[in-house]
A and B are shown apart, each in its own frame.
Chain A
Amino acid sequence: MANGLTMYEKLWQNHLVEDKAGETPLLYVDRHLIHEVTSPQAFANLRFQNRPVRHPERTIATMDHNISTRSIEINAAGEGAANQLRALEKNCKEFGIKLFGMGHKNQGIVHVMGPELGLTLPGTIIVCGDSHTATHGAFGALAFGIGTSEVEHVFATQTLRQNKAKTMKIEVKGQVGAGISAKDIVLAIIGKTGSAGATGYVVEYCGEAIEALSMEERMTVCNMSIEFGAKAGLIAPDKTTFDYVEGKEYAPKGEVFAQAVADWKQLKSDDDAVFDSVITLEAKDIKAQVTWGTTPGQVISIDGVVPAPEDFSDPIEKESCVNALKYMDLTAGTKITDISVNKVFIGSCTNSRIEDLRAAANVVEKFVAKGHQVVSTVDAIIVPGSYRVKEQAEDEGLDQIFMDAGFEWRLPGCSMCLGMNDDVLGEGDRCASTSNRNFEGRQGRGSRTHLVSPEMAAAAALTGHFVDLNA
């Protein structure tokens, strides 16, 4: 008898428009999210070819990548950014696409906006010209980043050609200890697999520790799937998922919602499904994580020390360690808790949702009670993921907790995660960042990034270095 199907295989079958010999399979795309940076050339080519957007109602646009976090003025982030933002306005108008532009109540980082508006639904295929589209996999949607040529293909046809990926199951058994965040879980996974450990795979996260996560936490985990090479990350939709989606602005309502939930319950991998690869972690072994190098896989526990090249047997990893230590200006053997930072960034599609800000504020309050403020040598900014998150945080008084402690409270956007606006690190700056990439130059030429959880970033702002909050 044939084996059961994995969730990925079910999503694949449900979206397979055509699988013809000699051609790459054609999949249906339910939802297309776009932003200002990776869409203009796709629109230009449509115009050149005189082709319409086939289903404009299935595409939603927002402005996030290069906007200012100090002003809602379109010109505030410089001429290049303003040109792209205006081009997006013009293109959306011409092709009939809904746009949440500057200052709109629904504007936000594309991967924060989609879920909170109910645009992200289980059982769908969601694409966006951004590699962190994997975030939406937290809902049991097959979601992945695409290039601009593919953006154009989706515009014109509402489909995409994709070769089938292999399947990987990552099971996190048991429960994580107190104070261990979703960010720590995913960084620990990447530390185990390496930065390309899942290239060619779609990953499904499961196990007790994953099931226990809220939707915000699941999004943090799936968001970083691309950081170890996975095409997409998936988590089986369950009651947590359905409760989150129900009532959201664009989510189905009434009987249609009930039918949807019935369908979504069928998505989880069958008990006898076979994965091409299986990785298992014990949740209790996961400690708070800090990256020390220039790929997300170069990560270690907070109670560890900066590794030495000799710690690696693989010659390429050894060489990468040498290069990373040089770029990061770190000495092997240094305790992670002895690393000082002068910048702190809390934000990005990985960690800018309401729960992230609550977690950071909670740490801030504890340290403030002990007499701490943001250290005078540290600049710390907090960038909420969307206007909805910002409003929620302000309703809860989180902005005041942050500002009273010496943090800057900014407007939503991608901000310092990639530094396309003026939120850029300087040469030699060392940043505790809740974002997803610690690549050389990512946050600014010659700058050094340590990826951490919102809790760890907050603690670093208040002490000037990394802290073992469980010690």
Chain B
Amino acid sequence: MEKFNKHTGLVAPLDIANVDTDQIIPKQFLQKTERVGFGVHLFHDSRYLDSAGKKPNPEFVLNKPQYQGASILLARENFGCGSSREHAPWALEEFGFKVIIAPSFADIFYGNCINIGLLPIKLSENEIEQLFQKSAQGDLTLDIDLPNNTVSCGELSFSFSLSKFQQYSLEEGVDSVGWTLNKLDIIEAFEAKMPAWQ
């Protein structure tokens, strides 16, 4: 996993609540055995007017000229709800997003983002509203500082938090499986004490 430190990028505002992972990456694109090839299908049903994905929908935020190259997605409450498919954060990451900012995330999606190095940032409803308003006034570029836990733009600055280990994992690009494999003795000791039925 790549290390995450600081990032400055353009914001794309997705002003919809309860965006589910079926919307982020519809099921017909889950039939891959590789970890790549999902970005092109991100938000497929809203992004394209046709099923084949040839005709971009000009009304969809990611197709608008001013948001080309966006790397920060600004979203509403309960982002990433529904299916546990990690394909959703894979698609967002492959499309070019490094950061997702929302007032709340679905639990599984949030964990999946951390596990692949995509930074999910929770801000208050009020702070999110300010960012949406600022974005509506013209291109909004945000500075994300993970070590200092801040999202800022000029005089505007908000702070966010992650659990200690999640913060460390993102900053250091920790191989979480390798990390746990270093503790095999502890796991084996636990197993030795388990009841027979377990």
On A, residues with C-beta under 8 Å from B are 17-18, 22-24, 26, 28, 30, 37-38, 40-41, 44, 49, 51, 66, 78, 80-81, 83-84, 87, 121, 123-124, 129-131, 133, 144-150, 152-153, 156-159, 161, 163, 165, 195-196, 199-200, 226, 229, 231, 252, 256-257, 259-260, 263, 295, 316, 319-320, 323, 418-420, 437, 439-442, 445
Provide the bound-state CA to CA distance between A226 and B176, in Å.
25
CB–CB A18/B186 < 8 A: yes
The interface residues of chain B lying within 8 Å CB-to-CB of A26 are 180, 183, 186-187
Given contacts A147-B108, A316-B17, contact A196 B180 (CB under 8 A): no
In-complex Cβ contact of B197 among A259, A323, A445 (8 A): A259
Measured in the bound complex, the distance between the Cα atoms of B85 and A226 in whole Å is 13
| B77/A196 in contact, CB under 8 A | yes
CB-based nearest A residue for B189: A17
* Cβ-closest chain A residue relative to B164: A22
Q: In whole angstroms, what is the CA distance A410 to B197 when docked? A: 36
Stretch at the interface among B29-37, B93-101, B133-141, B149-157: B29-37
Closest 8 pairs between A and B when the two form their complex, measured CB to CB: A80-B31, A260-B197, A147-B112, A147-B86, A145-B84, A149-B115, A40-B33, A196-B78
CA distance A144 to B16 in the complex (A): 26
Other A-B contacts than A49-B177, A226-B108, A420-B27, 6 sampled, CB-CB below 8 A, are A130-B83, A130-B84, A147-B86, A147-B115, A196-B81, A440-B22
B34 touches A44 (CB 8 A): yes
Question: With the chains together, A186 CA to B164 CA distance in Å?
Answer: 35
Q: Which of A51, A83, A257, A263 lies in contact with B33, CB distance below 8 A?
A: A83
Which of B33, B78, B89, B165 has the largest count of A CB atoms less than 10 A from its CB? B33
Q: Looking across the interface, which residue of chain A has its beta carbon closest to that of B1? A: A149
B28 CB contacts on chain A under 8 angstroms: 419-420
Does chain A have a CB within 8 A of B116?
Answer: yes
Q: Is the CB of B35 within 8 A of A44?
A: yes
Nearest chain B residue, comparing its CB with the CB of A39: B33
**Do A199 and B27 form a contact, CB below 8 Å, given A149-B116, A259-B197?**
no
| Bound form: Cα–Cα A146–B107 in Å | 10
Within 8 A of A (CB), among B180-198: 180-181, 183-184, 186-187, 190-191, 194-198
Verify B195–A157 contact, CB threshold 8 A. Answer: no
Min CB–CB distance B61 → chain A (angstroms): 15
Which residues does chain B contribute within 8 Å of A144, judged by CB atoms? 108
Contact flag A156-B177 (CB < 8 Å), given A83-B31, A83-B33, A252-B197: yes
Nearest A residue to B166 via CB reads A24
Which of B17, B51, B180 interacts with A161 by CB under 8 Å? B180
| Interface size counted on chain B using CB atoms at 8 A | 58
Q: Which residue of A lies closest to B48 (CB)?
A: A445
- A-contact 0/1 string along B2-38, CB 8 Å cutoff: 0000000000000011101011001110111111000
Q: Is B126 an interface residue, CB under 8 A from the partner?
A: no
Cβ contact within 8 Å between A159 and B33: no
| A38 x B84 contact (CB < 8 A) | yes
Asked if A252 meets B45 with Cβ closer than 8 Å, knowing A157-B187, A316-B17, the reply is: no
**Which residue of B has the minimal Cβ distance to A228?**
B81
Contact A131 B166, CB 8 Å, known A17-B186, A157-B177, A420-B28: no
With contact pairs A28-B190, A252-B196 given, residues A66 and B81 touching in the complex (Cβ less than 8 Å): no
Query: Are B45's CB and A441's CB within 8 A?
Result: yes
Which single member of A40, A51, A231, A441 contacts B177 (CB below 8 Å)? A51
Do A196 and B83 touch (CB < 8 A)?
no
Expressed in whole angstroms, the Cα–Cα distance for A83 and B33 within the complex equals 8
Asked whether any CB of chain A lies closer than 8 Å to the CB of B173, the reply is no
Q: In the bound complex, do residue B31 and residue A81 qualify as a contact, i.e. CB atoms below 8 Å apart?
A: yes
Query: Contact between A159 and B108 (Cβ–Cβ < 8 Å)?
Result: no
Chain B residues lying within 8 Å of A24, measured Cβ to Cβ, are: 163, 165-166
How far is A227 from B57 in the complex, measured between Cα atoms in Å? Answer: 29
Q: Which residue of A153, A156, A196 contacts B106 across the interface (Cβ within 8 Å)?
A: A196
Asked if B41 CB lies within 8 Å of chain A CBs, one says no
Given the complex, which residues of A lie within 8 Å of B17, measured CB to CB?
316, 319-320
Q: Which chain B residues numbered 117 to 146 have a C-beta less than 8 Å away from chain A?
A: none
Contact present for B34 and A37 (CB under 8 Å): no
- Whole-angstrom distance from the CB of A423 to the nearest CB of chain B? 11
Interchain Cβ contacts under 8 Å between A and B, 21 examples = A22-B165, A26-B187, A30-B198, A37-B30, A40-B32, A40-B34, A41-B35, A44-B35, A83-B31, A84-B32, A131-B84, A149-B116, A161-B165, A165-B107, A196-B81, A231-B107, A257-B197, A295-B81, A320-B18, A420-B27, A440-B23
What is the bound-complex CA distance between A152 and B180, given in angstroms? 12
- B81 engages A195 (CB within 8 Å): yes
Do B18 and A195 touch (CB < 8 A)? Answer: yes
B71 at the interface (CB under 8 A from A): no
A153 touches B180 (CB 8 A): yes
